[in-house]
Chains A and B, each alone.
Chain A
């Protein structure tokens, strides 16, 4: 099973700042990595698929990059609604797996 390790566990930032979230895979997943946002009491929301493609309706301030084992989700300028938990997920090998999440909180 592929293990995804996200860092940092918590990111404390002010609105308007840039957020950079990292996801590292225990083996190569090529570009088959997605990012999700989850707010308390809500289902996850797909943000990015295949490393760098924004899902339908996702604002341009969300961007993804990386391949192989190292991936990054960047939020260029944090909006109040962006404070949430973010998960990476690989779909290279079944069982697909999620990272443990990064919480982006208001500083």
Chain B
């Protein structure tokens, strides 16, 4: 069974940092593109970033570019999102998600974690 379990969310002051992690199991982690998607309270879904299967390529939304870094450790089956210079508008539930296709960036995640809440407030 495919499982994605996020951790690392919490409350942080503006300008602070957090590192989210996503532990993957039930599939060959190193064979799939992975994604982070966020959702502000009561709002819609927004793509944050993506990473290819070996970690050599990443893409970011303009709103987080230069502040967030996505990475992966295929030996540990874990995905990360390092978030620096956090702003109030980064407050959201952050979901990690796995692509539906083997080795291919289909852009259609089929498996999602339960999400972890990040709150940026003074």
Please determine whether A32 and B95 come into contact, CB atoms closer than 8 angstroms.
Answer: no
Question: What is the count of residue pairs linking A and B with beta-carbon distances less than 8 angstroms?
Answer: 54
For residue A36, which residues in chain B have a CB less than 8 angstroms away from its CB? 45
Q: Given A43-B112, A44-B112, A95-B61, does the pair A49, B106 have CB atoms closer than 8 Å? A: yes
CB distance from A67 to the nearest CB of B (A): 16
Please determine whether B44 and A100 come into contact, CB atoms closer than 8 angstroms.
Answer: yes
Q: By the criterion of a CB under 8 Å from any partner CB, how many residues of chain B are at the interface?
A: 21
B46 interfacial contact with A, CB 8 Å: yes
Q: Say whether chain A's binding surface is mostly helix, strand, loop, or mixed.
A: loop
Q: Given A44-B112, A87-B44, A95-B47, does the pair A32, B100 have CB atoms closer than 8 Å? A: no
B107 interfacial contact with A, CB 8 Å: yes
A13 interfacial contact with B, CB 8 Å: no
21 pairs, CB–CB < 8 Å, chain A vs chain B:
A32-B107, A34-B107, A43-B113, A43-B114, A44-B37, A44-B45, A46-B108, A46-B110, A49-B106, A49-B108, A55-B108, A55-B110, A89-B108, A91-B108, A94-B59, A95-B47, A95-B62, A98-B47, A99-B44, A100-B44, A101-B44
> Which residues of chain B have a CB within 8 Å of any CB of chain A?
37, 44-47, 50, 59, 61-62, 95, 97, 100, 106-110, 112-115
